[in-house]
Amino acid sequence: MDMIDNLSLGFSVAFTFQNLLYAFVGCLLGTLIGVLPGIGPLATIAMLLPATYGLEPVSALIMLAGIYYGAQYGGSTTAILVNLPGESSSVVTVIDGYQMARKGRAGQALAAAGLGSFFAGCVGTLILAAFAPSLTEVALQFGAAEYFSLMVLGLIGAVVLASGSLLKALAMIVMGLLLGMVGTDINSGAARYTFDIPNLMDGLSFVAVAMGIFGYGEIISNLAKSDEEREVFTKSVNGIMPSMNDIKLMTPAVLRGTALGSALGILPGGGAVLSAFAAYTIEKKIKLKPGEVPFGEGNIRGVAAPESANNAGSQTSFIPLLTLGIPPNAVMALMVGAMSIHNIQPGPMVMTNNPDLFWGLIASMWIGNLMLVILNLPLIGIWIKLLSVPYRWLFPAIVMFCAIGVFSTNNSNFDIWMVAGFGVLGYFLIKLGCEPAPLMLGFILGPMMEENLRRAMLLSRGDWSTFVTRPISAGLLALAVLMLIVVLSPAISKKRQEAFVED
């Protein structure tokens, strides 16, 4: 069978003692840097890239895969422990992961994230090997109108994430979309909302916005409470490994997340990001078992599902990357940059011209994934210890790492100040009871949405009905409307009850 042949070719390239060592070192470095609060996967990979320059292409790719997984997992660790999502997909992991950590269940959250990711990575690798050639055609079915409708669906899904009012969540998404407009318009080259500041030409930096709104906002509002009142973490940590009950709860969540991630990852552009949000949304819709912790208060499914979806998604997102040449997210874009330094141009030709490299890459991603589990499960105990560092030492360190991390991505102090600006915004949003997660999703999808809307309308010559006459697009929009109705109906009845009580 082709798949077996291909995979064994890949492993024969990747599986040498030297390469395994590189994978291990990469994973270790990636985790160590990635776990620093405020330094997300993007900044970690950017900082560690030069370390791979001197290696041969295959070894370099394997080390990069190790760094990539290490950085991803290190990022999830900080997301869970200190409420700082380092990249867009961990925005949802934060919601329940941080609550678990506060309840002394950080170990279980980290283990769920690690094990779920590993399982999803394995499945993703198999799917990639089995279906890469045929799945390419599915991705090609998607036109601009379908993308736009898919993103509408994703954004409506994000509304479900917000625990508060539906209207406020929708408004936060639109505010995010608008913030995403800052910078040079790709179609016309016009500089929008830049106030003639050259640093704004490339748009607001995701890292700066996320650090400011999630990190600084949270720190300021934490410090506003007195030392006793500040319930950062409970001192008692209840074990590290998940209990049987946890495993029972998380297994179906991991399976659902993996399936969803594998499917969405194939869609070029943003599929992997959407998958984490979508997985969380689905878990939230599934009825709670008796005695289960509600979502938003530390449900293990809320960690396991998005983390698996994200990992499966980033694995299958290699398909659009290698067939259409579109990197699915910023981290992958950086990986593409690293590959081109080693003279590997991602594109349709890689699979046919350089099969050993292509399959070697797939195999090395799997090895990186494996290293992660071997390295990190024993380390969980150490990360938990970090939680016992008193907050008065932790918060200046977080502020410092954020500032250094954001500076290192662009070498510009303007970015540092941008974090400050968004920190102020983040604090006031917390004060006003507005959830920041939908805003971040809007911000990430804004530019993509605008581009696809423009392209779809150009193709339909200004006819808005293109979104409902194309079957796939119409189906996605119908799903979005359906979701809105489902979310709306209990909200209405709840409001009615409140009004009744007041009378």
Amino acid at 227: D
Quick one: tokens of 279?
């997985």
By beta-carbon proximity to other proteins, the closer residue of 57 and 421 is: 421
CB atoms within 10 A of CB 390: 9
Please tell me whether residue 392 binds other proteins under the rule CB under 8 A.
yes
Cα gap 288→295, rounded to integer Å: 9
Based on the shown chain and the rule CB under 8 A, indicate whether residue 400 belongs to the binding site for other proteins.
Answer: yes
- Piece in contact with other proteins (CB under 8 A), picked from 15-23, 109-117, 213-221, 304-312: 213-221
Rg (alpha carbons) of the chain, rounded to whole number: 22
Does the protein bind other proteins through residue 500 (CB under 8 A)? no
Going by the DSSP 8-state scheme, the letter that residue 50 receives in this structure is G
Identified binder of other proteins from the candidate list 25, 336, 420, 448, rule CB under 8 A = 420
The sign of the dihedral angle between the CA atoms of 123, 124, 125, 127 is positive
Q: Between residues 235 and 461, which has the closer beta carbon with respect to other proteins?
A: 461
Task: Provide, rounded to whole angstroms, the least separation between the CB of residue 124 and other proteins.
Answer: 30
Choose the binding region for other proteins from 319-327, 345-353, 379-387, 403-411 (rule: CB under 8 A): 403-411
Of 24 and 148, CB closest to other proteins? 148
Taking CB under 8 A as the criterion, the residue among 4, 140, 201, 223 binding other proteins is 223
- The contacts of residue 438 (CB under 8 Å, 6+ apart) are 155, 158, 159, 161, 162, 169, 170, 172, 173, 176
How far apart, in whole angstroms, are the C-alpha atoms of residue 113 and residue 109?
Answer: 6
Please tell me the count of residues contacting other proteins according to CB under 8 A: 66
What is the rounded CA–CA span in Å between residue 114 and residue 35?
14
Rule CB under 8 A: say whether 499 interacts with other proteins. yes
Q: Which of 122, 333, 336, 416 binds other proteins (CB under 8 A)?
A: 416
Q: Which of 134, 343, 411, 465 binds other proteins (CB under 8 A)?
A: 411
Yes or no: say if 302 and 96 are a contact pair by the CB < 8 Å rule: yes
Query: What does DSSP assign to residue 354?
Result: -
Helix (H, G, I), strand (E, B) or coil at 35: coil
Q: Which is nearer to other proteins, 165 or 354 (CB)?
A: 165
The residue from 69, 142, 427, 467 that contacts other proteins (CB under 8 A) is 427
27 near other proteins (CB under 8 A) = no
DSSP-derived 3-state class of residue 315: helix
Strands 191-192 and 183-184: antiparallel
| 47 lies in the binding site for other proteins (CB under 8 A) | yes
Regarding 188 and contact with other proteins (CB under 8 A), the answer is: yes
Tokens of 407: 């500076």
Residue 498 is a binding residue for other proteins (CB under 8 A): yes
Q: Which residue, 248 or 496, is less far from other proteins as judged by CB?
A: 496
Answer for which of 42, 64, 115, 170 binds other proteins (CB under 8 A) is: 170
Q: Quick one: which segment of 5-13, 163-171, 239-247, 336-344 binds other proteins (CB under 8 A)? A: 163-171
Among 199, 251, 408, 410, binds other proteins (CB under 8 A): 408
Q: What is the dihedral of CA 426, 429, 434, 438, to 10 degrees?
A: -30
d(CA 457, CA 185): 17
Residue among 1 and 432 whose Cβ is closer to other proteins: 432
Percentage helix, strand, coil, to 5, in the chain?
75, 0, 25
Residue selected from 54, 461, 465, 485 as contacting other proteins according to rule CB under 8 A? 461
Q: Does 159 bind other proteins (CB under 8 A)?
A: no
Q: Binding other proteins by CB under 8 A: which of 138, 140, 167, 491?
A: 167
Q: Indicate whether 289 belongs to the interface with other proteins (CB under 8 A).
A: no
Applying CB under 8 A, which of residues 9, 255, 404, 448 lies at the interface with other proteins?
404
Q: Which amino acid is at 408?
A: S
CB of 298 closer than 8 Å to CB of 309:
no
Contact 103, 389 (CB under 8 A): no
d(CA 503, CA 485): 27
Q: From CA 110, how far away is CA 104, in angstroms rounded? A: 12
50 or 133, CB closer to other proteins?
Answer: 50
Site map (CB under 8 A) of other proteins, residues 441-460, x = contact: ---------x--xx--xx-x
| Distance of alpha carbon 131 from alpha carbon 501, whole angstroms | 57
Binding site for other proteins (CB under 8 A): 33, 36, 47-48, 50, 165, 167-168, 170-171, 174-175, 177-178, 181, 185, 187-188, 190, 192-193, 216, 219-221, 223-224, 392-393, 395-397, 399-400, 402-404, 407-408, 411, 413-414, 416-417, 419-420, 423-424, 427-428, 431-434, 450, 453-454, 457-458, 460-462, 464, 495, 498-499
